[in-house]
Amino acid sequence: MTITKLFTYIGLIALLITLLRYFLQGYKRVVLSYMQNFVGTLFIFSGFVKAVDPMGTSIKMHEYFEAMHIEFFNPISTPLTVVMLIAELTLGVALLTGFKPKITTSLLLLLNVFFLLLTGYTYLSGYEPNNAFFFVSISAFALICFGAIIEHDKARMWSLIAGFLMVGVTLFLMRYTTRLFTHPFDITKMKVTDCGCFGDFIKLKPWETFYKDVALTIMAFILALRYAFIKPVMRLR
């Protein structure tokens, strides 16, 4: 199994659910519905494969803690793993069913941004990010967090947009300049070589993990902006 095959299968399942909702329940926002079903299905699958081997995921958490020099979290890696997989399963089901769309999409966005920064850091450790990288990343995360929790819809929208523009600037600088790094990429300096996103089911290369999280975060961002159009499955009419 590869990430391409996995995304293809998840995409087909999401397409089937989208078509069923369109023809049986009259839910006509097809693109939004497809993203909702794709992300929801992927999160359920990700949480399920972690639940099969929670100790393996806990060991992977140790690698992340060591890479980020926060080894003092090691004793609670197993409880954190359980919380993470429960969060993925719960948010996946909530998104698929359209339950409490505002809070669901907000939490989903925050979780995706967290994963993006985490996997981005471990992948980009091959470049050795400098202080500018951490400043831009933390600023973007703070803006997105603010947008996710604020009640005022207009302020929410502009805060999320500003946060994602900053993420875009970060990605641009990473790709076309060396301003955020201390030296060119060196794979031997990478802190974590396998993200553990899908347990032992799929072993992803660091760049695959990072770009997967970029794609998911973009979809989560759109869902968070358009949450008002996400309707509960049982009350579409």
On whether residue 141 sits in a domain, the answer given is no
pLDDT single digits (tens) 158-189: 887 887 787 777 767 766 666 777 666 666 66
Segments of the chain with pLDDT less than 50? 236-237
Residue 130: inside a domain: no
Q: Structure tokens of 151?
A: 């009640």
Helix (H, G, I), strand (E, B) or coil at 129: strand
Q: Where are the alpha helices (DSSP H) in 26-76?
A: 30-52, 54-67
Structural domain total, the chain: 1
3-state helix, strand, coil in the chain (%, to 5): 75, 0, 20
Helix (H) or strand (E) holding 166: helix 153-176
Cα–Cα distance for residue pair 155/148, rounded to 1 Å: 10
pLDDT of residue 91: 93
pTM, whole model, 2 decimals? Answer: 0.77
Instruction: Check residue 236 and give its pLDDT.
Output: 42
- Considering the domain boundaries, does residue 183 fall inside one? no
- Class of residue 55 by CB neighbours under 10 A (exposed 0-12, middle 13-18, buried 19+): exposed
Q: Is 30 within a domain?
A: yes
Range of the domain at 14: 3-125+190-235
